[in-house]
């Protein structure tokens, strides 16, 4: 199928924009690869230190077996990363079966936005991505690995690991998922209880019961938020094995796929004949494919923030105009909560990512001619894994959706576009995701109520102050101000106001979770208020127009442009809960439109 003209045009635009940075990057990783297997350049003393803890240390000292570095986000507090506890043992055994060795090179932190929502710890969340990249870089800096396995799932973890993998782009790398937990209390029922609690209709005991029934076992949360959007992204970009993203933990298939990932990591080192440095996988076509997947699945807005930072690590420069143009031409093919009632297990059973990739390829909306860790192009990702005689094999995936309420072909989608729009106007630049927003709410014009943190909004709600149509503005929430926390804890109360018949929207220089849903939210507004962005000029009562149809975000006050920017005392955001250690990140962070990254 001929590549769609917009996909072709956007890819060329990214390639041209990135020509100098990408060329310099490829030169760097080619030079690093030319030096050959890294262990060969270590002294005997260096090597002895590196192998001393291994049972099979003689294998490394006396042979040319590939040595695989494991970078893991394991901890046993977070359900998504708990399954990784067993993975090093599985990986070492699989490596031995494939004539290789494996070592845990290092661990990276993995925090959960679901735990820190609305709390001070959330102000460290975005920059944990940069810390993860740095920690993974430290692990890989030992220079003893022929390839790497990256074990991570959730919000900032995968983007941080990609930044590190890109920085070590001469090393072949395979990303290894852990899988979602089995389905629990349906996400829409959990959301109803949250709204009932926000409205004072049920007590905390009922809320706790619903939350525990939803988040109930090891594995990723089952709604389609940032964690599962990350897993989709890794498959669309050719960094997971085909069909591996949404296989439940603790199953025979999950373990077999982990073993297969090890086998592949051992086979693509420079010691063999199938050398595949990850920097060559991470080209502009792979990132375009990832954006296409994001739009076709209705994925998390957080990836609009993360993808530019991830791409920059590989010399590829993305802009939110790329997301906008791709979204305008990619159909929404999936309905997964909060964009529908299904969870990711239902989505996987209906045909999942393999089905979507097949139909998007046939529609000319994906680059097939990419390099992937599976070998060959993206067509490999239309297959699905099966167990045959105790081994995993890949067979042709389904051409038909098993549930057209969850998954549809590109020729008969749920919506003609991906539902993400760039917003540009006198308030700056930002984005809005409307795939779960009713069409009659895509344009909101209402007076502004201006706040400087989400607790003020909650207090106003409890006081009964919201009685008319309102655009809630929450500013000084950008990366330079306080680390750009998610404002997801505002979703239940804004939903209550909307259900009361009010026209409601959110405008912020902060983030909104991948779990955001039916309330219009203009997010990532840049420049941010703390850097003198025009959002700092807004006053209570200003008429604001949020237009997701035409991509506008405007204050309609006649004197708006001539106003001075308001300031805000940011001292309370600088200390406590570790925030004092992150001052350097806040000072160095780029605008949200460039990924809000402090290390690139």
CATH number at residue 563: 3.50.30.80
Q: State the pLDDT at residue 57.
A: 65
Count structural domains, the chain.
2
Question: What does the angle CA 543 – CA 544 – CA 550 come to, to the nearest 5 degrees?
Answer: 140
Q: Does residue 571 sit in the same domain as residue 511? A: yes
> Residue 403 falls within a domain, yes or no?
no
Q: pLDDT tens-digit profile of 369-395?
A: 999 999 989 999 999 999 998 899 999
In this prediction, the residues of the chain whose per-residue pLDDT falls under 50 are none
Residues facing residue 448 across a β-bridge: 471
Q: Does residue 469 sit in the same domain as residue 382? A: no
Question: Which of 396, 431, 449 is where one domain is finished?
Answer: 396
> Residue 272 falls within a domain, yes or no?
yes
> Residue 198 falls within a domain, yes or no?
no
Q: Does residue 375 sit in the same domain as residue 523? A: no
Supply the range of the domain harboring residue 268: 5-182+217-396
Q: State the pLDDT at residue 514.
A: 52
Q: Does residue 27 sit in the same domain as residue 100? A: yes
Q: How far is the C-alpha of 90 from the C-alpha of 256, rounded, in Å? A: 9
> Residue 408 falls within a domain, yes or no?
no
Q: Does residue 313 sit in the same domain as residue 351? A: yes
Residue 576, classified by CB atoms within 10 Å of its CB into exposed (0-12), middle (13-18) or buried (19+), is: exposed
> Residue 436 falls within a domain, yes or no?
yes
Q: Does residue 491 sit in the same domain as residue 351? A: no
Q: Does residue 91 sit in the same domain as residue 148? A: yes
> Residue 474 falls within a domain, yes or no?
yes
Which of 267, 194, 279, 234 minimizes the C-alpha distance to 516? 194
Q: Does residue 363 sit in the same domain as residue 432? A: no
**534 φ, ψ (degrees, to nearest 5):** -65, -20
Q: Does residue 127 sit in the same domain as residue 248? A: yes
> Residue 262 falls within a domain, yes or no?
yes
Q: pLDDT tens-digit profile of 553-596?
A: 999 999 999 999 999 999 988 888 889 999 999 999 999 999 99
Could you tell me the pTM of the whole model? 0.94
Q: State the pLDDT at residue 324.
A: 96
Q: Does residue 161 sit in the same domain as residue 34? A: yes
Residues facing residue 425 across a β-bridge: 428
**Residue 44 known to bind ligand:** no
Question: Which of 330, 362, 396 is where one domain is finished?
Answer: 396
Residue 28, classified by CB atoms within 10 Å of its CB into exposed (0-12), middle (13-18) or buried (19+), is: middle
**Residue 221 known to bind ligand:** yes
Q: Does residue 388 sit in the same domain as residue 438? A: no
Tokens describing residue 335: 């309905």
Q: State the pLDDT at residue 200.
A: 83
> Residue 464 falls within a domain, yes or no?
yes
Q: Does residue 123 sit in the same domain as residue 252? A: yes
Question: Which of 362, 396, 430 is where one domain is finished?
Answer: 396
Q: State the pLDDT at residue 215.
A: 75
Q: State the pLDDT at residue 58.
A: 67
């Amino acid at each position: 199928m001929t590549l769609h003209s917009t996909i072709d045009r956007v890819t060329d635009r990214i390639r041209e924009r990135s020509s100098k940075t990408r060329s310099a990057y490829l030169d760097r990783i080619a030079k690093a690869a030319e030096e050959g297997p890294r262990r060969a350049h270590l002294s005997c003393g260096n090597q002895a230190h590196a192998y001393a803890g291994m049972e099979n240390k003689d294998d490394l000292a006396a042979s040319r077996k590939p040595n695989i570095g494991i970078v893991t986000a394991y901890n046993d507090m977070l359900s998504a990363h708990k399954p990784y506890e067993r993975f090093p043992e599985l990986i070492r055994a699989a490596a031995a079966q494939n004539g290789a060795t494996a070592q845990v090179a290092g661990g990276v932190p993995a925090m959960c936005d679901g735990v820190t929502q609305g709390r001070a710890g959330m102000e460290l969340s975005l920059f944990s991505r940069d810390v993860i990249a740095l920690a993974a870089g430290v692990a890989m800096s030992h220079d003893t690995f022929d390839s790497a396995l990256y074990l991570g799932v959730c919000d900032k973890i995968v983007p941080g690991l990609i930044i590190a993998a890109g920085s070590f782009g001469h090393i072949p790398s395979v990303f290894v998922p852990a899988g979602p937990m089995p389905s629990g209390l349906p996400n829409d029922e959990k959301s109803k209880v949250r709204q009932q609690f926000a409205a004072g209709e049920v007590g905390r005991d009922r809320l706790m019961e619903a939350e525990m029934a939803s988040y109930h076992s090891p594995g990723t949360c089952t709604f389609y938020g940032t964690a599962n959007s990350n897993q989709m992204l890794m498959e669309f970009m050719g960094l997971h094995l085909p069909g591996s993203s949404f296989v439940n933990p603790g199953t025979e298939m999950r373990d077999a796929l982990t073993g297969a990932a090890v086998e592949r990591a051992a086979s693509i080192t420079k010691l063999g004949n199938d050398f595949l440095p990850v920097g060559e996988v991470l080209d502009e076509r792979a990132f375009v494919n990832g954006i296409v997947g994001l739009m076709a699945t209705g994925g998390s807005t957080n990836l609009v923030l993360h993808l530019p930072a991830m791409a920059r690590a590989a010399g590829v420069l993305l802009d939110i105009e790329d997301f906008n143009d791709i979204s305008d031409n990619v159909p929404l093919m999936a309905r997964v909560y909060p964009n529908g009632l299904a969870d990711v297990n239902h989505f996987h059973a209906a045909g999942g990512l393999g089905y979507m990739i097949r139909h998007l390829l046939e529609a000319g909306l994906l680059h097939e001619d990419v390099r992937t860790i599976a070998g060959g192009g993206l067509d490999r990702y239309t297959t699905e894994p099966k167990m045959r005689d105790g081994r995993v094999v890949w067979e042709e995936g389904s051409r038909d959706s098993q549930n057209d309420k969850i998954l549809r072909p590109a020729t008969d989608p749920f919506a003609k576009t991906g539902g993400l729009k760039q917003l540009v106007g006198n308030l700056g630049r930002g984005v809005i995701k409307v795939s779960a927003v009713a069409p009659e709410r895509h344009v909101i014009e209402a007076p502004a109520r201006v706040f400087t943190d989400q607790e003020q909004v909650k207090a106003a709600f409890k006081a009964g102050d919201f009685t008319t149509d309102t655009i809630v503005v929450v500013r000084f929430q950008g990366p330079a101000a306080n680390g750009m926390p998610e404002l997801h804890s505002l979703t239940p109360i804004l939903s209550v106001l909307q259900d009361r018949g009010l026209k409601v929207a959110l405008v912020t220089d902060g983030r909104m979770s991948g779990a955001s849903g039916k309330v219009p939210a203009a997010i990532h507004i840049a420049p941010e208020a703390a850097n003198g962005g025009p959002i700092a000029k807004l006053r209570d009562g200003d008429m604001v127009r949020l237009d997701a149809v035409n991509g506008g975000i405007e204050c309609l006050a006649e004197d708006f442009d001539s106003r001075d920017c308001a300031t805000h005392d940011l001292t309370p955001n600088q200390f406590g809960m570790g925030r004092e250690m992150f001052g350097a990140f806040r000072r160095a962070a780029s605008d949200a439109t460039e990924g809000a990254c402090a290390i690139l």
